[in-house]
Chains A and B, each alone.
Chain A
Amino acid sequence: MSTSGIGRRRFLAQCGGLIAGGLSAGLARADARPLRFGLTPVFLNNDLELLGRLRDYLATACEAPLQLVTRRTYQEITALLVSGQLDAAWICGYPFVVFRKELELVAVPVWQGRQEYQSYLIGRADRHFAAIGDLQGDVHAYSDPDSNSGYLVTAAALVEARFEPSTFFRRSFFTYGHRNVIRAVASGLAQSGSVDGYVYEVVARLEPALTAGLRVLRRSEWLGFPPIAAPVREPVPGRTAMLRRALERMDRADTGRAVLSLLQLDGFNAGNPALFDGIGRKIAMLAKGAVP
């Protein structure tokens, strides 16, 4: 890089700065606020390399400093998002449907060519399973009470099979992470678990030892993949569109492709809210079944 190049760039930046400063001081203050992007444990959020690359990509693509916000539960992230403390978050389809009026769909991941995934019921490889009723009396591991694949699908299936979800299992507990559900079942802490099918497949590929003694007992129907959502009332106007564009173009940049590779995703597309109708039906079924 030549010194003349640096001088010219500095000069242009200073000129641009003067012009921009003169035009809209208030907007500049709003833009200076970092883009706050929330992450739920919907995917492998314990991978520091992934988080670093995602931050780098989004910060570059959105031309704004980026702050990744992680919390232990879906509920915490959803609350921050709905209250406008986050610009966007990668949440589950379940809270997206629940807070449909407050949230706007930004993008939906594409996994193996589709924007849908399944919920898995998993157990040890040697256990007998013919129908969901065989799980009665198990110690069962859920992922999160606000997770579609990690709770809602199983609870709805139990209701559909005319079981009471709160008493069907001898004991159920939440691990607040799909990978943790796999760990709980693999270690024997739980006899069965409800897990995100996408996460299970990725873990099976990256950590085959963890899933070696397990098998998928039941696969749900295809449901809308956990989306990236933003508050309807944008904290910083224009950021939702910017973020959507950045996500949709992720496969065009090296950093973005690295992120997609780590996530084992094909890319992100603007999704259709109708993708999540199936989840809505399960919520309705659960609400109906839960009414005494």
Chain B
Amino acid sequence: MTSGSIPHRAPPAMPLVIKVPLIVATLMIAVSVAVTFQVFARLVETQERTLADLTEAYLDGLSSSLLPHVQRDDNWEVFDSLERSRALYQGMRVTTVIVVRPDRTILASTDPIRFATEAIVPDALGSPENAGSVSQISLDLAPRTWLTRALAFQGRTIGTIHVEVDLTHLRAERRKVLGVLVATNLALTLLFAFLGWWLVRRMLSPLRVLARHMELDAAGALVPITIDRQDRPGSEFDRLFRRFNAMAQAMEERELLKARIAEEERLASLGRLSSIVAHEINNPLGGLLNAVDTLRTHGHRPAVRENAVGLLERGLNNIRDVVGMTLAIYRPDRDPRPVRRKDIDDLRLLVEGAALRRHVSLIWRNRLEDGSGIPAGPLRQILLNLALNAIQATPASGTVTVEVAHHDNLLRMTVEDGGSGLPEPVRQILVAGRPSLVPGVGSGLGVWVVARLVSDLAGRITVPRNGVGGTRIEIVMADTPKAEIKHVA
């Protein structure tokens, strides 16, 4: 059994009710980003193609209408044509058009204040060599972009048209479409995430019920699930709930059984102790009765009377100590006060009697210092059980050593016997930490109780294997137990 080891607690896993919608939302975001990118790319492509086509058509129309006027160097007609074409091509958002002669002087423009007739056109607007750049138009250009088209007649360039196109509205439209796309996809993502959360929550609700019932109640028991009549009978969860309820019932029965066995063991221990106590009381009783007879017969003699009364007092004191010790160990509410050195010494009284009867030598080393934080009751029961077991296991004229030491905030108890060695199943009960399975009666039940008590006190038991016989049981526990004593079997 290794259930006593404390497992490393991993951080709590994210509930499925959140995990699945998160995955759905992540997938939706990925899909929407891809879709948005595609739609947006197509929009930009369409916008740019339409703009290029429109610009091309505009420049074609403008070129054909301007050509004769440019040939005649008629700046008024060029201006008038530009004005009229501006009214015709309002969809183009042309802000400025300049018609330039081959010598780079301006023939006419739609904005003669900025680009006056006869002035030299700014170099930044490009030259006829750059003509045809309409195909390179892009919305990523500046909001206002200059395009250039050469005016050719019979294979000779007779002028250049420079057109300033305002792309602001297209860029604004692009931004608007992007905003709508992002908002729509975000809304859809949130909607699907919510739907995912709702569906998964609905689908996993039986599992949540199961998880809630898997947690032990205050009494350490599983609470059975009330099976709703509306649940589909025969469904997976219906079968799961029924199996869980059967398991909870079995666990409850096992816990009851363990409690009953522990109680029986306690009673058995009590019986053994009772016989010890009876023996301890019975031994001096003969002497005490003799002293009473002596008093009755020779009580008038002061020396005899004094001697008899002294004998009576010692015998009664001895009986009082034995009875007091027994009460201290088996008091029903256990003794919650911290253990003191005297508690261990008192225990010796009980153990010594048993050792004497078995003709076993007892070596008792009590080095406990007062001020320990360990409760007295469980500690004394542990030591008493182990010591009595050791005496029981040791043949006559053998030796049992009991040692209690206190060192570096650790309490160390050692019980060593001269027996034939601890059977392996019993040894396993001791070293396995807190045992859950109850051994059969007579096959280590006392040891099982010791193991549970040590586990309650957060102690550790070691039993080295010894090939030559004899058993050495060592118990080490922190002076301030980490866990409170919840339940002592």
Contacts of B83 in A (CB 8 A): 183
Q: Is the CB of B75 within 8 A of A173?
A: yes
The CA of A141 and the CA of B76, in the complex, are separated in Å by 9
> Which of A102-110, A152-160, A184-192, A200-208 contacts the other chain?
A184-192
Q: Is the CB of B116 within 8 A of A180?
A: no
Contacts of A141 in B (CB 8 A): 76
Q: Is the CB of B118 within 8 A of A189?
A: no
Contacts of A194 in B (CB 8 A): none
**Does residue B74 face the partner (Cβ distance < 8 Å to A)?**
yes
Interface size class of B (residues with CB under 8 A): 10 to 19
For chain B residues 71-98, which have a beta carbon within 8 Å of chain A? 74-76, 79-80, 83
**Does residue A33 face the partner (Cβ distance < 8 Å to B)?**
no
Against B, the Cβ 8 Å flags (1 = close, 0 = not) of A133-160 are: 0000001010000000000000000000
**Does residue A175 face the partner (Cβ distance < 8 Å to B)?**
yes
Contacts of A174 in B (CB 8 A): 76
Interface size class of A (residues with CB under 8 A): 10 to 19
Q: Is the CB of A139 within 8 A of B76?
A: no
Contacts of A173 in B (CB 8 A): 74-76
- Residue in contact with A180 in the complex, picked from B80, B111, B117, CB distance below 8 Å: B80
Contacts of A184 in B (CB 8 A): 76, 79
Against A, the Cβ 8 Å flags (1 = close, 0 = not) of B111-133 are: 11100111000000000000000
Q: Is the CB of A180 within 8 A of B112?
A: no
By beta carbon, the residue of chain A nearest B109 is A189
Residues A170 and B118 in contact in the complex (CB < 8 Å), given A187-B112, A188-B112, A188-B113: yes
Q: Is the CB of A139 within 8 A of B79?
A: no
Interface centre among A175, A176, A180, A189 (most CB of B within 10 A): A189
**Does residue A171 face the partner (Cβ distance < 8 Å to B)?**
yes
**Does residue B108 face the partner (Cβ distance < 8 Å to A)?**
yes
The CA of A103 and the CA of B287, in the complex, are separated in Å by 180
Chain A interface residues toward B at CB < 8 A? 139, 141, 170-171, 173-176, 180, 183-184, 187-190
- Residue in contact with B112 in the complex, picked from A170, A175, A176, A189, CB distance below 8 Å: A189
Contacts of A176 in B (CB 8 A): 76
By beta carbon, the residue of chain B nearest A171 is B118
24 A–B pairs (Cβ distance < 8 Å), ordered by A: A139-B116, A139-B118, A141-B76, A170-B118, A171-B75, A171-B117, A171-B118, A173-B76, A175-B76, A175-B80, A180-B80, A183-B83, A184-B76, A184-B79, A187-B79, A188-B112, A188-B113, A189-B75, A189-B76, A189-B79, A189-B108, A189-B117, A190-B112, A190-B117
Contacts of A188 in B (CB 8 A): 111-113, 116
The CA of A176 and the CA of B69, in the complex, are separated in Å by 14
Contacts of A175 in B (CB 8 A): 76, 80
**What distance in Å separates the Cβ of B84 from its nearest Cβ neighbour in chain A?**
12
**Pairs of residues from A and B, 4 with the lowest C-beta to C-beta distance, nearest first:** A188-B112, A188-B113, A189-B112, A175-B76
Contacts of B118 in A (CB 8 A): 139, 170-171
Q: Is the CB of B76 within 8 A of A180?
A: yes
By beta carbon, the residue of chain B nearest A176 is B76
Q: Is the CB of A139 within 8 A of B80?
A: no
Contacts of B117 in A (CB 8 A): 139, 171, 189-190
Contacts of A187 in B (CB 8 A): 79, 112-113
Contacts of B108 in A (CB 8 A): 189
